Amino acid sequence: MAAQKERTVDLLCGAFATDLQERRMFSVENHDGEKVVDLYFKPITRAVRIRALEKAGSDNALKASTIMMCLAAELEDGTRAFHEGDALKLQRELPEKVLDSIELFLHEVQGDEEIEEAKND
């Protein structure tokens, strides 16, 4: 009897399973360069992106991106940094450049890419 061949979906998911547990840290600093908080992010999955779009209730990339950040951001101990409802307060009360820097880090955008282009990916 021939050994069962592993399914392609299982090969792919298995190859990247440890990647989904790795976290990257982003230090949020105030205008004086003092650290406010460290946020930790695991890689974004399609499921998180879809959930953020559903929560946004539209295809608005800015809304969805902030909601995705709220869904994904963790503190050092692994607890969630934000509640889903915090997105509106963050959008109203934080300077755009602060949200942009965190969200670009979340999306792993570096350097010269245009902010709007990156948010629409």
CATH number, residue 43: 3.30.2220.20
Q: How far apart are CA 70 and CA 82, in angstroms?
A: 5
Indicate whether 113 pLDDT > 80: no
* Averaged pLDDT of the chain: 88
The count of domains in the chain is 1
Instruction: Please report which confidence band the pLDDT of residue 39 belongs to, taking 50, 70 and 90 as the band edges.
Output: very high
Residue 74, pLDDT score: 97
d(CA 13, CA 27) in angstroms, rounded, equals 30
For residue 39, give its domain range: 23-119
How far is residue 95's CA from residue 116's CA, in Å, rounded to a whole number? 16
In a domain, 17, yes or no: no
**Residue entry with tokens 């547990």:** 21
